[in-house]
Amino acid sequence: MRFSQKILALFILLAILGVGVQVFRRSQSDKTGQSDSDPPGTAAKTFDKTKHSTNQAGSLWWVVNKKRPLPAGYAPSDLTTANIPVRTGGDESKVSKKVVPDLEALVTAAKKEKLNLLLVSGYRSYSLQVMVYDQNVRQLGQAEADKVSAKPGTSEHQTGLALDLGAASRTCELEECFGATPEGKWIAAHAHQYGFTIRYLKGKQAITGYNYEPWHLRFVGKELATELHRTNQTMEEFFAL
């Protein structure tokens, strides 16, 4: 074999060995959940879906929907007001104490971008939800009302962990077009950084039972909110409910 042929054969052998090493590393990474870029001794972090209960009243990840009603007579014991602009006074200006620090931080961050937000509706008692739902039924008929309004006893607002935000200008307030406003776009892009998820996502009506509501936020904490944002999932999908 000529010298040049030996060199060529050597290069081919090295290339084959290099590919084999890469395949081996990838297979090991798949098995262990650790990539080449991970520090030695670390493994891929998995999301702990059991950290908070989805069934316990008041839990950060408590899932309330049409098929998962609140306990009869439920009212959160930690309702308070946040230091942000509100549309109206009374109970609707209140939220669970758990929500306040991150809600204030969210509104402050938006304001730095020259976007002024206000709390349109926070906590709603059972009796207030009766009024809201009945009004929607009168105006829209029950079939349409059920797409945009929760029956009393099944509203997230009653948990104190859900709220509606809007622009201070009142543009597209509680309307789907809010999602196309600068305020709505900012919320969609940044709400998860403050622990909020847009609860009723576009294209998910068959899962949530409600039309797209870009103004309706649910506080779940930064960890879960970030994961829901990253995967574009509802709470029902994420927890397989």
Nearest CA to 124 among 114, 112, 136? 136
Mean pLDDT in residue range 132-142:
97
| Domain range summary for the chain, segments of one domain joined by + | 1-37, 79-238
Query: For residue range 40-54, what is the model confidence (pLDDT) as tens digits?
Result: 444 447 999 999 999
Cα distances (angstroms) measured from residue 237 to each of 41, 51, 161, 227, 232? 32, 17, 19, 12, 10
Helix %, strand %, coil % of the chain (to 5):
45, 15, 40
Query: Which 3 state secondary structure label does DSSP give 121?
Result: strand
Identify the architecture of domain 79-238 in CATH.
2-Layer Sandwich (3.30)
What is residue 13's predicted lDDT score, i.e. its pLDDT?
Answer: 54
* Whether residue 19 has pLDDT greater than 90: no
Name the pLDDT band for 6 (thresholds 50, 70, 90): low
Name the pLDDT band for 35 (thresholds 50, 70, 90): very low
Evaluate if pTM is beyond 0.85: no
Query: For residue range 169-187, what is the model confidence (pLDDT) as tens digits?
Result: 999 999 999 999 999 999 9
What is residue 4's predicted lDDT score, i.e. its pLDDT?
Answer: 53
